[in-house]
């Protein structure tokens, strides 16, 4: 979600000529959840943008003036971000000097006779229209960007759309240079933004909402072809017979590094592991000297997109658990990855159920009654799901009947802790797993009458650090988790980012990768805070971040199943999650087991997750020794998945990421 919001809120510009007003509807799962109103007056425009997402959402007021060729001369953005942090941003361009100040930056740059297009740190979606027009007006067909980079466009497809009152000719554009993959924008024949699609969310001119699904389908097909073309050039075939020689093996079964071994792979299966190397005729030989061979990694908390695929595979993540998505969309993504049409991991889906109300989840299946919720369990069962996730608006009284119904079908139950109850109640009434460490802490620091949904992060941030983790109350709850064989999915990285990342400073969770990421990703993702961290709450938030690590280790020591999940930026976040588990005090070998064999077994799989004769060759080759230094997990030189070979350096370069191995 966080990455979605940063993509949506990128700001860019074009020329404006006449007085005009255009209204847009922001849609979530086809229903209006927000709006944008754009007022044009000469070479200036005013944009008011907002939407609501489970009690959160941005609200922005954006005022822009433009030069005759479409470049921004002044811009002022005010309001709040998706998570509620304040927005106060200014930009001016005068005498070939650009100056800008926001919560991230306070900078000045001489353009020295050339033009550049300013990208606001917290802009509005409408601004993509302005960028496209500016590029079309330029002789070079590209524009330089501020703070840095360049942007180009490509026209992809033109169609005619009709409603009862009007007919419009619209064109789909791809905008390159803003992130890992293209941004897609629908423009009308007057060079006005018509629609933006982001899967289950999007924006379209008021009165045309019925066309959003059709446009999204066209856009998805084109994006799939774009990614499929990359797959053709970036995917290698695993040889019928492959030897990995002189390699150190972490097999995920014990806690040792088995040195100078040979692994023989035939038809995608591990057939031999030898301490004395054999010579095998007609085999492809891979030199594993000074490298560690281990099972592919698992990310146990994702909301997968096609665009995530390359980042995951490049990061050694060959398997993900998707814990809440639009079923039809996810099945298309899964098929694309399974058939290697698009590069990506194996997906193990979890079906999401929530009660239908204002703060309902934006994906999954919604229920108005417990009977309807039970029917959703039946539906997921027929689709082959083995786990469901209950979301925050579920009536607490529904937990027990839903869980009992699911368990009869051998379906596990996990989720957020619903509002107006606590984790103890959820566990006693059927939960098998708790997602997110803030949900665990809610058990101790929120009164059951407090509806946390509109302040679920700030309340926990303010209070969790004061909890006495040595108290009898905490000990009893941990004992309950052990007794009920509960799994905990802490997603530590997102909370470290949330409670420690100040606006304008590199997010501590991503310091190790910041210089490797594209400029715009680095700026929009790593320099932007989710919460308003200030003098009043900074110490409390910092204590809470520490307490999250401490309680995770306490649960691990008590024998609680811990999984490594992210709910954030694909690839890089899992590496940091493993580092945090290590920093919490969990031995590196156990951290690697959590991310490999233990994850596989929790998903009912026996043939992946370890380097063992008879297992599938679902493997990664790491330069270094992650048992000694967990951060070596970033230095992956080879990935094997579904009888395909991938070179992470090539994958990273394809999406604008500087490789981690030189």
pLDDT digits (tens, 9 = 90+) for 287-310: 999 999 999 999 999 999 999 999
Q: Each residue of 400-421: b (16+ CB within 10 Å) or e? A: ebbbebbeeeebbbbbbbbbbb
- Show which of 577, 602, 627 is a domain's final residue: 602
pLDDT recorded at residue 173: 95
pLDDT recorded at residue 14: 41
* Nearest alpha-carbon partner for 202 in 189, 214, 190, 188: 214
Domain that holds residue 519: 446-602
pLDDT recorded at residue 142: 85
pLDDT recorded at residue 455: 65
pLDDT recorded at residue 2: 42
3-state secondary structure 375-396: HHHHHHHHCCCCEEEECCCCCH
Residue 646 domain flag: no
Same domain, 265 and 225: no
The alpha carbon of 513 is separated from its chain's Cα centroid by a whole number of angstroms, namely 16
pLDDT band at 451 (very low <50, low <70, confident <90, very high): low
Find tokens 């905490």 and name the residue. Answer: 474
- Show which of 602, 620, 640 is a domain's final residue: 602
Contacts of 233 (CB under 8 A, 6+ apart): none
Structure tokens at 284: 């492809």
* Nearest alpha-carbon partner for 119 in 155, 75, 67, 85: 75
pLDDT recorded at residue 141: 85
pLDDT recorded at residue 471: 95
Residue 95 domain flag: yes
Q: How far is CA 542 from CA 465, 482, 498, 535, 576, in A?
A: 8, 28, 10, 12, 18
> Under the phi-then-psi rule, with left for phi > 0, alpha for psi from -120 to 50, and beta for the rest, what region is 305?
beta
Percent of the chain's residues with pLDDT above 70:
96
Residue 500 domain flag: yes
Same domain, 177 and 69: yes
- The pLDDT of 538-561, averaged and rounded, is 96
Top-confidence residue, 8 or 231: 231
Same domain, 289 and 179: no
Given a cut of 80, is residue 174 above it in pLDDT? yes
The alpha carbon of 396 is separated from its chain's Cα centroid by a whole number of angstroms, namely 28
Contacts of 51 (CB under 8 A, 6+ apart): 26, 28, 33, 34, 35, 57, 58
Same domain, 25 and 167: yes
Same domain, 132 and 270: no
- For residue 248, the domain's CATH number is 2.30.40.10
- Show which of 602, 621, 655 is a domain's final residue: 602
Count other Cβ atoms within 10 Å, centred on residue 393: 21
Residue 425 domain flag: no
pLDDT band at 143 (very low <50, low <70, confident <90, very high): confident
pLDDT recorded at residue 559: 97
Rank 42-46, 145-149, 584-588 by mean pLDDT and report only the highest.
584-588
Residue 652 domain flag: no
In degrees and rounded to multiples of 5, residue 225 shows phi and psi of -65, -40
Same domain, 58 and 181: yes
Top-confidence residue, 65 or 454: 65
Average pLDDT along the chain: 91
What tens digit of pLDDT does each residue of 194-225 get? 999 988 899 999 999 999 999 999 999 999 89
Same domain, 498 and 549: yes
pLDDT recorded at residue 538: 92
Residue 428 domain flag: no
Count other Cβ atoms within 10 Å, centred on residue 109: 15
pLDDT band at 452 (very low <50, low <70, confident <90, very high): low
Rank 4-8, 355-359, 360-364, 387-391 by mean pLDDT and report only the highest.
387-391
Q: Where are the beta strands (DSSP E) in 67-192?
A: 72-80, 86-94, 97-101, 106-110, 117-118, 142-146, 150-162, 167-176, 183-188
pLDDT recorded at residue 190: 92
In 152-275, which residue ranges form alpha helices assigned H by DSSP?
Answer: 212-234
Given a cut of 60, is residue 3 above it in pLDDT? no
Q: How far is CA 163 from CA 35, 158, 166, 218, in A?
A: 20, 17, 6, 18
Find tokens 């492959």 and name the residue. Answer: 242
Structure tokens at 363: 């994906």
pLDDT recorded at residue 104: 80
Contacts of 425 (CB under 8 A, 6+ apart): 396, 399
pLDDT recorded at residue 5: 43
What is the helix, strand, coil percentage profile of the chain, to 5? 30, 30, 40
Q: How far is CA 567 from CA 309, 509, 571, in A?
A: 15, 14, 11
Given a cut of 60, is residue 16 above it in pLDDT? no
pLDDT band at 450 (very low <50, low <70, confident <90, very high): low
What tens digit of pLDDT does each residue of 569-622 get? 999 999 999 999 999 999 999 999 999 999 999 999 999 999 999 999 999 999
Residue 317 domain flag: no
Rank 101-105, 392-396, 446-450 by mean pLDDT and report only the highest.
392-396
Cα dihedral sign, 241-245-250-251: positive
Given a cut of 80, is residue 361 above it in pLDDT? no
Distance in angstroms (rounded) separating the CA atoms of residues 458 and 462: 6
* Total count of domains within the chain: 3
Same domain, 201 and 268: no
In 317-467, which residue ranges form alpha helices assigned H by DSSP?
Answer: 327-338, 370-382, 399-408, 423-428, 437-445, 456-463
Name which of 15-29, 33-47, 343-357, 581-595 the model is least confident about: 15-29
pLDDT recorded at residue 446: 72
Cα dihedral sign, 525-527-532-533: positive
Q: Each residue of 606-622: b (16+ CB within 10 Å) or e? A: eebbbbbeebbbbbbbb
- The pLDDT of 171-195, averaged and rounded, is 92
- The answer to whether 523 and 504 are in contact (CB under 8 A) is no
Residue 67 domain flag: yes
Omega before 383 cis (within 30°)? no
pLDDT recorded at residue 139: 84
């Amino acid at each position: 979600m966080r990455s979605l919001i940063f993509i949506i809120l990128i700001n860019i510009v074009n020329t404006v000529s006449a007085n005009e007003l255009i209204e847009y509807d922001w849609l979530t799962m086809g229903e209006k959840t927000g709006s944008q109103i754009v007022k044009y007056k000469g070479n200036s425009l005013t944009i008011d943008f907002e939407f609501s997402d489970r009690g959160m959402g941005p609200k922005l007021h954006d005022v822009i003036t433009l030069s005759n060729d479409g470049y921004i001369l002044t811009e002022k953005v005010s309001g709040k971000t998706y998570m509620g942090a304040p927005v106060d941003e200014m930009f001016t361009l005068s005498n070939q000097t650009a100056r800008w100040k926001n919560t991230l930056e306070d900078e000045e740059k001489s353009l020295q006779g050339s033009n550049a297009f300013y990208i606001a740190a917290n802009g509005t979606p409408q601004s993509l229209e302005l960028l496209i027009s500016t590029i079309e007006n330029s002789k070079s067909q590209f524009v330089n960007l501020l703070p840095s980079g360049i942007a180009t466009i490509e026209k992809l497809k033109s169609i005619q759309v009709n409603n009862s009152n009007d007919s419009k000719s619209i064109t789909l554009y791809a905008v390159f240079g803003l992130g890992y993959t293209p941004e897609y924008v629908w423009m009308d024949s007057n060079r006005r933004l018509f629609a933006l699609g982001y899967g289950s969310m999007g924006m379209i001119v008021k009165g045309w909402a019925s066309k959003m699904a059709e446009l999204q389908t066209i856009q998805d097909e084109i994006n799939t072809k774009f990614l499929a073309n990359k797959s053709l050039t970036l995917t290698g075939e695993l040889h019928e017979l492959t030897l990995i020689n002189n390699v150190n093996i972490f097999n995920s079964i014990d806690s040792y590094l088995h040195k100078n071994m040979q692994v023989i792979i035939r038809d995608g299966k591990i057939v031999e592991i030898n301490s004395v190397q054999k010579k095998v005729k007609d085999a492809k030989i891979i030199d594993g000297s000074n490298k560690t061979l281990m099972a592919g990694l698992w990310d146990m908390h994702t909301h997968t997109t096609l665009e995530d695929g390359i980042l995951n595979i490049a990061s050694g993540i060959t398997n993900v658990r998707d814990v809440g998505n639009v079923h039809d969309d996810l099945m298309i993504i899964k098929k694309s990855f399974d058939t290697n049409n698009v590069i990506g991991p194996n997906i193990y889906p979890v079906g999401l159920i929530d009660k239908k109300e204002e703060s309902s989840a934006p994906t999954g299946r919604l229920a108005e009654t417990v009977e309807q919720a039970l029917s959703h369990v039946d539906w997921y069962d027929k689709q082959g799901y083995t786990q469901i996730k209950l979301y925050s608006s579920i009536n607490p009284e529904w937990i027990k009947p839903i869980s009992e119904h699911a368990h009869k079908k051998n379906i596990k139950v996990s989720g957020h802790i619903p509002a107006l109850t606590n984790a103890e109640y959820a566990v006693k009434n059927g939960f098998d797993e708790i997602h997110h460490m803030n949900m665990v802490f809610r058990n101790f620091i929120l009164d059951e009458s407090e509806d946390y949904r509109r302040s679920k992060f700030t309340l926990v941030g303010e209070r969790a650090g004061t909890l006495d983790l040595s108290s009898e109350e905490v000990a009893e709850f941990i004992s309950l988790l052990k007794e009920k064989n509960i799994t905990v999915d802490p997603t530590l990285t997102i909370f470290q980012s949330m409670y420690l990342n100040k606006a304008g400073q590199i997010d501590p969770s991503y310091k190790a990768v910041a210089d490797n990421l594209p400029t715009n990703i680095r700026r929009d993702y790593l320099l932007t805070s989710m919460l308003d961290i200030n003098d009043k709450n900074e110490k409390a938030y910092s204590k809470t971040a520490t307490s999250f690590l401490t309680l995770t280790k306490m649960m691990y020591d008590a024998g609680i199943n811990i999984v490594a999940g992210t709910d954030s930026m694909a690839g890089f976040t899992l590496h940091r999650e493993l580092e945090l588990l290590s920093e919490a005090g969990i031995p590196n070998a156990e951290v690697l087991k959590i991310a490999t064999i233990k994850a596989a077994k929790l998903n009912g799989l026996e043939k992946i997750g370890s380097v063992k004769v008879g297992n599938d060759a679902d493997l990664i080759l790491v330069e270094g020794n992650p048992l000694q230094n967990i951060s070596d997990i970033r230095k992956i030189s080879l990935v094997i998945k579904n009888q395909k070979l991938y070179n992470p350096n090539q994958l990273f370069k394809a999406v604008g990421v500087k490789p981690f191995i030189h």
